[in-house]
Structure 1
Amino acid sequence: MKTCASCNERFNDGVQCSSCKKYLDFSCASMTEVGWKKLGADRRAQWKCPACRVSSPTLLSPQPTASLDTVLSEIREMKHQLLDLPTLVNDLRSIKDELSDLKKCYDFSSGRLDEFDTRLINLESKVSEFEKVQDTVLSLQSELASAKLELMSHDQRSRLNNVEIKGVPLKKDENLFSIVEAIGRKIKYNCPKAQINYISRVPIHNSKEKLVIVSFLNRYVKEDFVAAARAEKDLSTSDLGFQGAPHRIYVNDHLSVESKNF
């Protein structure tokens, strides 16, 4: 017989974690005997207990090949380069008209006229090239705008399972899981570690405060957690065991910067 690493009860049939090598009975492993057998030999050999799954580093979603800042920077740079393009095109057209008038007014020698004709043709060609460049730039601006929208959409989709908690003071050697559990007790919503993908602190722009980001494994669990927190109007720091004057704590969806601006 083996001893369960979670409840210390002895058992005959159970599971073994591939990471810490500890044994757990089916109840503590949150799994039935039938479900364990259905996993197959390969998946059973790779199975991890809830504690090891929480401590394992989370693979982040692949980031887009280009960031929003890069796209916006490229758009601003191209716009800056094109500020003088309309004036330059008009100047070239004006030169073209002046040369055309000079050609009519003066009776130059054939060689001189040929020279002016050549210059005029060259200028006309340059004007045509600039007009084509302008059309190309407009097309590129449209493509960049579409790419920006796609990146914004991808960024927001990657946050669908995330919750943003604002107002939790920073504390040395803090346990973010304990903080989330304390919030769960206050809002009357049980949130076991097995439902959490990861928890981390992220900085706020132009502020010393850091948000707590909780990524759930299930979108519906995340939505129920947010709904329960919003229903609790007086959630404050005192509910989490912090001393001093209580401050309001806010629980919301983890939106991208662009979505917040909307």
Structure 2
Amino acid sequence: MFLCARCDNSTSDGPTCALCKRQFDFPCSGISETYFRKLGARRGSWRCSDCVNNPSSSNNDPQLVAQLDEMKDTLNTIKRQLEPLASLVEDVKTIKADISHLKDSVELAHSSVGKVSNSLERLDDRVKTLEHEINNLKKMQDEVSKMNEDMQEKEQWARANNVEIKGIPMKSSENLYELVSQVSQVIGCQVRREDINYIARVPNLHEKTVKNIIMAVGCVVTQYFTTLFTYLKYIKHSAYAHMAFNNRFTKENYIAASRRHGSLSLKDIGYHGDGKIYVNDHLTLHNKALLREAKILAKEKNCKYIWTRHCKILARKTDTSPIFRIKVKQDLLKI
């Protein structure tokens, strides 16, 4: 039992002030018994309202002074530990600014990527359009090639009755029919005047060469003049002679007789000199150039035979290999 320091009433239980050491009953202490019990170990540091409102009254308490000094030391330690935090805060601010700039850069990059993506889409559309046009162009090129091939076939077919005689020099006031008759006698294939549709010298591919004789069998006159003007358009100085038969069989017999006879020379028809005379099919300019390329390539690739028959260019690599026809430049790859 003790007397309450405030009301002097006798009581059996109550808190004791940690500073002034006075005891109070619960009503005078200002704290309930339940709350005081919950303080546990902190009940030893409880202070009365007088000491709380007037802390100077406790300055002479050695225990309290020690506690205050300890708290100051702790605060100083915490203060020293928090000093680097200021620079850390500045670093965080700098990082935040950098992150903000980085965010702006990322947004700008994203915008640029969007523009590039749109450009790529437009470029892809243009590429698709270009591919479509290229496919159309290829089809057109194929059609033009086919048309050109057909035209070459028809032009060559128009010359199917023609014979070309090379190597006979030109003379003033010459009679081409007599020259052809002399050649005919030598090869053993007589040709009547009525078998010949037309005979003349027409332009040659090379200037300074002997103008050749072309003899046409059943050649349409308009086709002849078309061919003649075509030659004259590109070649101004030299020419070869054109002779047309009225019958293709007569023409083929004439070519065959010449080949059976073999080599012909100018001496065989009464000319001076050792020049050779050649009797061949009358090829178009395209086929003549193609035949020339085929012969050159055949020498390089050891292709044994290159010849013409019925105005067609034929080739055979060896004596036993199959015969193939050369119609266009791509066929030269077969050699």
- TM-score bracket relative to the smaller structure: 0.5 to 0.7
CA distance in 2, matches of 1:234, 1:118: 75
Residue 173 of structure 1: SS of its match in structure 2?
Answer: coil
How many Å apart are 1:194 and its aligned residue? 0.8
Q: More helix by proportion, 1 or 2?
A: 2
- In the alignment, which residue of structure 1 is the partner of 2:211? 210
CA distance in 2, matches of 1:202, 1:175: 15
Residue 190 of structure 1: SS of its match in structure 2?
Answer: coil
More relative contact order, 1 or 2 (CA 8 Å, 6+ apart)? 1
The one of 227, 230, 249 aligned to 1:220? 249
How many Å apart are 1:155 and its aligned residue? 2.1
Q: Residue 236 in 1 paired to residue 237 in 2?
A: no
CA distance in 1, matches of 2:207, 2:201: 13
Q: Deviations over 1:113-132 (max 9, x none)?
A: 88666544433321221121
CA distance in 2, matches of 1:107, 1:200: 85
**5+ unaligned residues in a row in structure 2: which ranges?**
1-104, 217-244, 295-325, 327-335
Q: Which amino acid aligns with 1:254?
A: H
Q: How does 1:139-218 map onto structure 2 within 5 Å?
A: 139-208=139-208, 209-215=210-216, 216-218=245-247
CA-atom RMSD in angstroms: 2.7
Residue 212 of structure 2: SS of its match in structure 1?
Answer: strand
Q: How does 1:6-21 map onto structure 2 within 5 Å?
A: none
CA distance in 2, matches of 1:106, 1:193: 96
| Cα gap change, 1:210 to 1:119, in 2 (>3 Å) | same
Q: Percent identity?
A: 32
| Cα gap change, 1:234 to 1:142, in 2 (>3 Å) | closer
- In the alignment, which residue of structure 2 is the partner of 1:4? none
Residue 210 of structure 1: SS of its match in structure 2?
Answer: coil
The one of 237, 252, 262 aligned to 2:280? 252
How many Å apart are 1:152 and its aligned residue? 2.1
CA distance in 2, matches of 1:189, 1:120: 75
How many Å apart are 1:161 and its aligned residue? 0.5
CA distance in 2, matches of 1:233, 1:117: 75
- In the alignment, which residue of structure 1 is the partner of 2:71? none
- In the alignment, which residue of structure 2 is the partner of 1:122? 122
| Cα gap change, 1:199 to 1:117, in 2 (>3 Å) | same
| Cα gap change, 1:108 to 1:211, in 2 (>3 Å) | same
CA distance in 2, matches of 1:129, 1:204: 47
Residue 225 of structure 1: SS of its match in structure 2?
Answer: helix
Residue 107 of structure 1: SS of its match in structure 2?
Answer: helix
Q: How does 1:29-178 map onto structure 2 within 5 Å?
A: 106-108=106-108, 119-178=119-178
Q: Which amino acid aligns with 1:211?
A: N
| Cα gap change, 1:230 to 1:108, in 2 (>3 Å) | same
CA distance in 1, matches of 2:266, 2:134: 57
Q: Deviations over 1:229-250 (max 9, x none)?
A: 22223532223332x2242211
| Cα gap change, 1:246 to 1:111, in 2 (>3 Å) | closer
Q: Which amino acid aligns with 2:129?
A: E
Q: Deviations over 1:133-174 (max 9, x none)?
A: 221122222222212221221122111111111111111222
Q: Which amino acid aligns with 2:130?
A: F
Residue 160 of structure 2: SS of its match in structure 1?
Answer: coil
How many Å apart are 1:106 and its aligned residue? 4.8
- In the alignment, which residue of structure 2 is the partner of 1:55? none
The TM-score normalised by the length of structure 1 is: 0.52
How many Å apart are 1:222 and its aligned residue? 0.4
Q: Which amino acid aligns with 1:210?
A: K
How many Å apart are 1:109 and its aligned residue? 10
